[in-house]
Chains A and B, each alone.
Chain A
Amino acid sequence: MRNSLKVDGSDPAVSLGTTRVIARLDIKSPQGLVKGIHLEGFRVIGSPEEHALRYYRDGIDELIYMDVVASLYERNSLQELVSKTASEVFGPLTVGGGIRSNDDIYRLLRAGADKVAVNTAAVRRPEFIREASRVFGSQCIVLSVEAKSVPGGWEAYTDNGRERTGLDALEWIRRAVELGAGEILVTSIDREGGRKGMDLDLIRAVGTHVPVPVIACGGVGNVTHIAQGIEAGADAVAIASLLHYKTKTVGSIKQGLAAQGVRVRP
């Protein structure tokens, strides 16, 4: 357990960064922001750019654009959207969905992304992680894992929770980190869109399992759920519904977290 998250920042022995609050925007072509439940049944919410800009102005720590239909078309279609977003959003942006080659990564980075999230292509050919991290650096390669609870642990899925991989999620994450993944985005398929709290056992298992940062996603319905995820070991929490449906603003989330003793960027 990392109770040390609550250590005062002036502690000279170990200096911890801040915990990130990340907005995750699932995007379905043509360029609509959507939200599903358990990664299915997408409902269109609005323009991703407008939402991204609002969250940026409100002080979001990072944005994730996830192309949720990319695997259908075997390509990421977000390059133009990334480029437009980066013209007005001067904050960090991670892009995922349908990324299968170093060329794909190159194009997205050049358009304004800082990191890319890979899933299906890495499952199919794990060496892709090594090749990508070797060229772009580990800090750029996020492994996205869609985890579903099974007896004795979690199984990794792809294609928004539709396709089983047969891989034990923790084992897969450990291997991906060895290959060079610099961050793990772990989404609980069971909790996603449910707003009833995060899968804390999953976060605890992943957080203590790897030396790289972990972004936890799935199940946040209120600020306490975020704080619980961080307490369980997440270095960042990605939220969607809570922001997209304007239940909370970025500012009120951060104030709530600070009040619960979480170190956040003001």
Chain B
Amino acid sequence: MSKRVVVVDYGVGNLHSVTKALLHQGATVSVTADGEEIERASHVVLPGVGAFEDCRREFHARGLAAPITKYIAAGRPLLGICVGAQLLMSESEEFGRHEGLGVIPGRVVRIPNAGVKVPHVGWNSLRPPSGTFEGTILESVGAGDMVYFVHSYAPVPEDPAHWLAETRYGTIRFASAIRRDNALGVQFHPEKSGETGLRIIASFLAL
């Protein structure tokens, strides 16, 4: 049966690409900020491009905090992408201090300019913090596979259990994928990461 995916539209982000990637994997997609549609969805994707504070403000302005929090609390699958993933964290330090949804305790920090260029733009690898990716949405990611990043800030969850993947860049080690139950977030762009990214999206839809 085709999955009914809601791509949350709160005026930010690259909605077209992620929508096309989901359609490519056979999903039925609706792009909306409607709480009732979120309620009926089998899967929710929370995109986001830009500054954390602008995303957060638009997110709240459209009354999305309640339906999304409720959806997550019910244990249903959600995938945050880039700033959409950062919104799941407790707070961000981008342009001041701003509160996130607090689904995953921890902060979003600026990547230090130590020995590398910031923003971190380009392809980098994902590593399981411990063990393997088996049984996760990153199961299909092999050791040589890379995904596309374009960001200056990155999530650092407090609880090691919330680290789904880690990536190193410069002197920092950040959580390139985070999770708490079925609430998932990826700092990279699976919709822009070629076949590796499409396989990750397929694994998410299989949840």
Contacts and interface: CB of A to CB of B under 8 A. Distances in A.
Nearest to A83: B16
Given A13-B171, A90-B197, A112-B16, A18 B50 contact: no
A81 to B, nearest CB: 13
Residue among B21, B114, B117 facing the most chain A CB atoms (10 A cut-off): B117
A111 B20 CA distance: 11
Contacts of B17: 86, 90, 112, 114
A236 interface: yes
B119 A139 contact: yes
Interface residues of A, number: 45
Interface stretch (B37-45, B59-67, B187-195): B187-195
Given A17-B116, A90-B198, A266-B144, A136 B123 contact: no
Contact of B114 (A14, A93, A137): A14
A175 to B, nearest CB: 18
Interface stretch (B71-79, B133-141, B146-154): B146-154
A112 to B, nearest CB: 4
A114 B50 CA distance: 10
B147 to A, nearest CB: 10
B49 to A, nearest CB: 6
Nearest to B13: A109
Residue among B113, B118, B150 with the most chain A CB within 10 A?
B150
Contacts of A92: 148, 150, 189, 192
Q: Which of B168, B191, B194, B195 has most A Cβ within 10 Å?
A: B194
B194 A90 contact: yes
Contacts of A19: 122
B189 A114 contact: yes
Contacts of A90: 17, 20-21, 24, 191-195, 197-198
Nearest to A207: B117
Interface in A140-189: 140, 182-183
A109 B150 contact: no
Given A90-B192, A91-B192, A211-B113, A111 B122 contact: no
B107 to A, nearest CB: 17
A139 B122 CA distance: 11
Given A15-B168, A92-B192, A137-B51, A111 B16 contact: yes
Interface of B: 13-17, 20-21, 24, 49-51, 54, 83, 95, 113-124, 144, 146, 148-152, 168-171, 189, 191-195, 197-198
Interface of A: 4, 13-20, 56, 59, 61-62, 83, 86-88, 90-93, 109-115, 134-140, 182-183, 211-214, 235-236, 265-266
15 contacts: A15-B168, A17-B149, A56-B194, A59-B194, A87-B20, A91-B192, A92-B192, A114-B14, A114-B17, A139-B119, A139-B150, A140-B49, A182-B121, A236-B121, A236-B122
Which 3 residue pairs are nearest across A and B when measured between Cβ atoms?
A15-B168, A139-B119, A265-B123
